Amino acid sequence: MSRAATMRFWLLPLLIAVPATAAQAIDLPTRKPGLWELKMQRPGSAGEDIAMQHCTDETTDKKMTSAVQPMATESCSKQDIQKTATGYVNDTVCNIAGMTTKSHAEITGDFNSAYSVKITSQNENPLPGVPKSANMTLDAKWLGPCKDGQKPGDIVMPGGIKMNVTDIDKLKALMPKK
């Protein structure tokens, strides 16, 4: 799978599963301001794990959620988040580029020092290079203040690719095309 296809595969469930909560009565807490390390793993997959760093603050977290929400609302027929004893559970059904994805995400942690998102998804009519089912884990750890020269929203991905997540048009460009 190409690097662009790999990035789309990683971003698709995360854009669907986590930010889609903005329209719900239950909102996820905002993360502690500063630099977060995000490690995404697909257990049992031959693909590579991805680690990135994200500089954020409360305004950016809220802006990111509200910017992605219209895309999730348009693409998802189900967005259900519930508070649990250990965190949150989010179930979604979304259709992007003709592929229907049913996802279940379990979110745990304190959003101040670390949190984890475990996602299981089933894809109907998967796009080329996208498996029929997938498991993914996002482990996030707070590293401290953002680095010199970083501003909230800056994210550094593998290969030194740097973008600011508040620029939603760049994120949309990584999504699968019809």
- 3-state class (DSSP) for residue 147: coil
Q: Is the pTM of this model over 0.85?
A: no
153/100 Cα distance (integer angstroms): 29
Q: Has residue 148 got a pLDDT over 90? A: yes
The confidence score (pLDDT) of residue 36 equals 95
Are the C-beta atoms of residues 118 and 137 closer than 8 Å to each other?
yes
Give the confidence band of 134 by pLDDT, cuts at 50, 70, 90.
confident
Q: Has residue 127 got a pLDDT over 90? A: no
Q: Which of 6-10, 150-154, 166-170 has the lowest mean pLDDT?
A: 6-10
Are the C-beta atoms of residues 123 and 13 closer than 8 Å to each other?
no
User: What's the pLDDT tens digit per position in 45-83?
Assistant: 666 788 999 999 998 888 776 666 666 677 788 888 899
Q: Which residue has the higher pLDDT, 160 or 106?
A: 106
User: What's the pLDDT tens digit per position in 77-106?
Assistant: 888 889 999 999 999 898 887 888 899 999
User: What's the pLDDT tens digit per position in 26-45?
Assistant: 677 889 999 999 999 887 66
